[in-house]
Chain A
Amino acid sequence: MEIVLAEAGRNRWRIEPRPPMRVPGVVFATGALLPQAAGDKALEQVANVAALPGIVRASYAMPDVHWGYGFPIGGVAATDVERGGVVSPGGVGFDISCGVRLLAAGVTREEVGPERIARLMDLLDRMVPRGLGRGGLWELDGPAELDDLLLGGARYAVEHGHGVPRDLERCEDGGVLAGAAPAEVSTRAVERGLQQVGSLGSANHFLEVQAVDRVHDASTAAAFGLRPGQVCVMIHCGSRGLGHQICTDHVRAMDRELHRHRIELPDRQLACTPVDSARGRAYLGAMTAAANYGRANRQLLSEAARRAFAAALGVGLELVYDVSHNLAKLETHEVDGVARTLCVHRKGATRALPPGDPELPADLRAAGQPVLVPGTMGTASYVMVGLPGNEAFRSACHGAGRVWSRHQALRTVRGEQLKHDLEAHGVAVRPASLRALAEEAPEAYKDVDAVAAVTEAAGLARQVARLVPLGVVKG
């Protein structure tokens, strides 16, 4: 499909709906942030998503949008459940409930100094399972206990001593989504998930020690528990092999059954089924189970970070917030003046609730939801906050967004040199592999400062604080 992109306002581009599109495509970006690489199919994917049965309003792309498979990464699409709207596992992504968690330490970078940070990074290097091979921080008894974890999420982990009750108040959905159906999780998914609770994985997943570099909004930052110079920990990971296997299983099943629902798709990875169908309910039950696994996983990694901080720096860590950026949720939104139940897919996009939303914990309600935007290990990350009037179903960006393929990164960057350069700039790097480190070079990503600025200018979320890396544990 040839894509004609028209400028439709400041930081806003539109793809007019042409068959089989049912709604327009809307991209929030400056010209510089639009996908540029030759062969990049992100905008075509925005248009493909606009053809999904039951989609309403528009197929949205966040400022960090880039080429995925099926859905673009940085895509948001909502379907009307009562009007044949579909759920697409590809619109959630393989890494179900992949997300970001930020914890804040009771210490500033000036109080700590590089030597103690290096000691902290050495401890984290030893304590955080990642990369190749099995093994997580929590050895479960067997499939029955895994079922309990799939039902209980981060709450199950806290109830078993891996955290404190306040952690749950600072997680989306209190750390556990209702409606998990372990019976819809295949044996293969269980086998993959049993040994990985409390592990980082590889690729773009990381545990990063950061410092608050700049505060844009002091009162909101204070409500989030952040202040200038403060040392923080950002954790980016998801539901590991279990989530990937669930997505694989359900995409395959829906791919085989498309003809039953007379659904024609331009890309097999967009395989979908009506939300209100046995297959749709089965997927949502399994997806919810994986989402709970992802939240428990981040809870376990937080516990490891706390142990390392206590040992190396003698300080504790308070959870700022935990968000998912790969998820589908049934939410109520107004469409053409009528409240509708929508299945909102966020594939590489973060929910961004505005101030006053009743779903927010009491101590954050006046401020709004923290939106966590990891950048790169050589630049910065952002804490943003949800805004009222967000047209993209209350969604914002989820990161910087890749511009280079891993292939190009490996051709351009040497891992040894990158490690040396980062260390020279005061970032202590603890990679599982130097080649894998090169794939994640900062140059492989968009300018996160520009992404955050455009996210704010487009009315999706507002900047609260900029964080810079002090040390990174990479998978």
Chain B
Amino acid sequence: MDGPGPTGRSGHRSVPHTADLRVEAWAPTPEGCIGELVRAVVGSFADLEGARIVGERGCTVFGASDADLLAGVLEEVVYRMDATGELPAALALGPIRGLDGARSIEVRFRMADAATAALVGAVPKAVSLHDLDLSGGPDGWTCRATVDV
């Protein structure tokens, strides 16, 4: 899905990479950026429109940097999909806390049963550190991740 570029309020787009799935997102806040990227990745392979909601789940993700938090939240989604068969139909992120070297973020997922989702693309299995980024600028925050499928 193509977006208007990192000048609007919030959005995401996939960008070319021969190996796997590469996604960029933008938002006014770093937490918003992470949420956009998660929505982009889930939307790239699962249509949750008619999926059965099974409940809410919460967790805290830790990382050395904001970019590592981004990878950590995505990894949480991939792990829960494989281990419990659930995918986030929606998510809410608390504020990023801590200093550089010890960052954390609280995440609440509204989970759907993955078995009731429609498959629409290659399923992600891991998040690469290659060119991983989450950074702020005068127009807001941007992030990008490469996801192994």
A positions within 8 Å CB-CB of B: 35, 37, 39-40, 42, 66-70, 73, 94-95, 131-134, 188, 191-192, 195-196, 201-203, 240-241, 244-245, 247-248, 251, 255-256, 267-269, 271, 402-408, 432-433, 435-436, 439, 475
Contacts and interface: CB of A to CB of B under 8 A. Distances in A.
B130 A269 contact: yes
Given A132-B117, A247-B126, A403 B18 contact: yes
A195 B82 CA distance: 8
Given A94-B148, A192-B79, A69 B131 contact: yes
A202 B149 contact: yes
Label chain B's interface by main secondary structure: mixed
Contacts of B130: 69-70, 267-269
B149 A203 contact: yes
B139 interface: no
A131 B120 CA distance: 10
A382 B56 CA distance: 49
B3 to A, nearest CB: 12
Contacts of B149: 202-203, 406
Contacts of A405: 16-18, 22
28 contacts: A35-B18, A39-B16, A42-B18, A66-B18, A67-B19, A69-B131, A69-B148, A70-B129, A73-B19, A94-B125, A132-B45, A132-B46, A132-B114, A132-B119, A133-B85, A188-B79, A202-B122, A203-B20, A203-B149, A267-B131, A268-B130, A403-B18, A405-B16, A405-B17, A407-B14, A407-B15, A433-B120, A436-B121
Contact of A133 (B16, B21, B64, B114): B114
A94 B126 contact: yes
Contacts of A202: 45, 119, 122-123, 149
Interface in B99-149: 114-115, 117-123, 125-132, 146, 148-149
B16 A37 contact: yes
B71 to A, nearest CB: 9
A248 B75 contact: yes
Contacts of A134: 82, 85, 114-115
Given A132-B114, A244-B78, 18 more contacts: A37-B16, A67-B18, A94-B148, A131-B123, A132-B123, A133-B85, A134-B114, A192-B82, A203-B123, A241-B83, A245-B126, A255-B129, A267-B129, A269-B128, A271-B129, A402-B18, A433-B120, A436-B119
Given A132-B123, A247-B126, A404 B18 contact: yes
A105 to B, nearest CB: 29
A251 B129 contact: yes
A439 B129 contact: no
Contact of B120 (A69, A203, A255, A436): A436
B83 A435 contact: no
Contact of A432 (B21, B115, B119): B119
Contacts of B128: 69-70, 94, 269
A67 B21 CA distance: 12
Instruction: Across the A-B interface, give the 5 residue pairs with the lowest CB-CB distance, nearest first.
Output: A69-B130, A268-B129, A405-B16, A203-B122, A241-B82
Contact of A436 (B22, B122, B129, B131): B122
A268 B79 CA distance: 21
A391 to B, nearest CB: 26
Interface string B63-98: 010000000000100110011010000000000000
Contacts of A255: 129
B100 to A, nearest CB: 14
B147 to A, nearest CB: 10
Contacts of B16: 37, 39, 405, 407-408
B75 to A, nearest CB: 6
A248 B82 contact: no
A244 B126 contact: yes
Nearest to B83: A191
Contacts of A188: 79, 83
A73 B130 CA distance: 14
Nearest to B130: A69
A201 B123 contact: yes
A436 B46 CA distance: 11
A408 B18 CA distance: 9
Interface in B7-30: 14-22
Contacts of A256: 64
B122 A69 contact: no
B127 A433 contact: no
Contacts of B19: 66-69, 73, 402
Of B15, B130, B146, chain A has the most CB atoms within 10 Å of the CB of B130
A32 to B, nearest CB: 16
Of B115, B122, B127, chain A has the most CB atoms within 10 Å of the CB of B122
Contacts of A40: 18
B123 A269 contact: no
A406 B129 contact: no
A188 B126 CA distance: 13
Contacts of B18: 35, 37, 40, 42, 66-67, 73, 402-405
A437 to B, nearest CB: 10
Contacts of B114: 132-134
A66 B19 CA distance: 7
Contacts of A245: 79, 126
B125 to A, nearest CB: 4
A256 B101 CA distance: 10
A20 B148 CA distance: 28
